[in-house]
Homo-oligomer: A and B are copies of this chain.
Amino acid sequence: MDFTLKPIQPVSTRDAVYDALRALILQLELPPGTAISEKDISLKFNVSRTPVRESFVRLAQEGLLEVYPQRGSYVSLIDMNLVEEARFMREQLEVAVVRLACAEFPAERLTELERNLSQQRASIEAHDYRLMFELDEAFHRTIFEGCNKTNTWQVLGSINAHLNRSRMLRLAADQQWDHLFEQHLGIVEAIRIHDEQHAAELMTAHMHLTIEDQSLLRAKYPDYFKS
């Protein structure tokens, strides 16, 4: 007997286009300000304008795309006000969740965090910053999952689209990965020994570290920023 569920949909064209465009925007391969038209994209992907259009609707709702009727669509510029508020929201939620984690955290999630940490160490030594970026995401997601706050993490995912775009600009830069890694170590230790106060302090500092040097970024990529 085969209980495998047949995929509800192999993959809808709309979702495929959406995923592709979103990835291109977040990885800055479509830099802020880039003009993109439904027609262009539909030709590049060899699909009709309909699924492209619907992808545009979703991207516009997330604030990643600005659509001006009858004039054109543009990858949205990075809005520093928005980025700062995204950082603010993330800080509040991350701190609150890590406090919960100090009170109660499943053992298997803790080992998952430790496994992640060892991978982080390896990727830093290998100077693989792209991988380190992904591990950092996974690290924080695991904390949320361990506290049964999966939906919260998903909401953060869309909120942080802008935040991550500016973080991506610093990927090549020095980005003090060593420092971030030390903080990760401390956070996991605090969770293990249920030191809520210390965990909260570490997480607060951690959330501030991910966004400094914005004026430098602005100077380096002036065209990518708004106002």
CA of A4 to CA of B155 in the docked complex: distance in angstroms?
38
The 0/1 profile, CB within 8 Å of B marked 1, for residues 118-153 of chain A is 000000000000000000000000000000010110
The 0/1 profile, CB within 8 Å of B marked 1, for residues 1-30 of chain A is 000000011001010000000000000000
CA of A68 to CA of B51 in the docked complex: distance in angstroms?
16
Query: A61: shortest Cβ distance to chain B, in Å?
Result: 6
The answer to the question of A92 belonging to the interface, with a C-beta cut-off of 8 Å to chain B, is yes
The answer to the question of A114 belonging to the interface, with a C-beta cut-off of 8 Å to chain B, is no
Q: Looking at the complex, which one of B12, B89, B149 makes contact with A85 (CB distance below 8 Å)? A: B149
Query: A84: shortest Cβ distance to chain B, in Å?
Result: 9
The 0/1 profile, CB within 8 Å of B marked 1, for residues 44-61 of chain A is 000000000110011001
The answer to the question of A69 belonging to the interface, with a C-beta cut-off of 8 Å to chain B, is yes
Query: A147: shortest Cβ distance to chain B, in Å?
Result: 10
A9 adjacent to B69 (CB under 8 Å): yes
> Of all chain B residues, which has the CB nearest A94?
B92
* Chain B residues with CB under 8 A of A82: 151
CA of A96 to CA of B58 in the docked complex: distance in angstroms?
30
Query: A8: shortest Cβ distance to chain B, in Å?
Result: 7
* Number of residues on chain A facing chain B (CB within 8 A): 25
Q: Looking at the complex, which one of B54, B58, B93 makes contact with A92 (CB distance below 8 Å)? A: B93
Of the A-B pairs whose beta carbons lie under 8 Å apart in the complex, a sample of 26, sorted by A's number, is: A8-B68, A8-B69, A12-B69, A14-B57, A53-B54, A54-B54, A54-B57, A57-B57, A57-B58, A58-B58, A58-B61, A61-B61, A81-B151, A82-B151, A85-B149, A85-B151, A85-B152, A86-B151, A88-B96, A88-B149, A88-B152, A89-B93, A89-B155, A92-B93, A92-B96, A93-B93
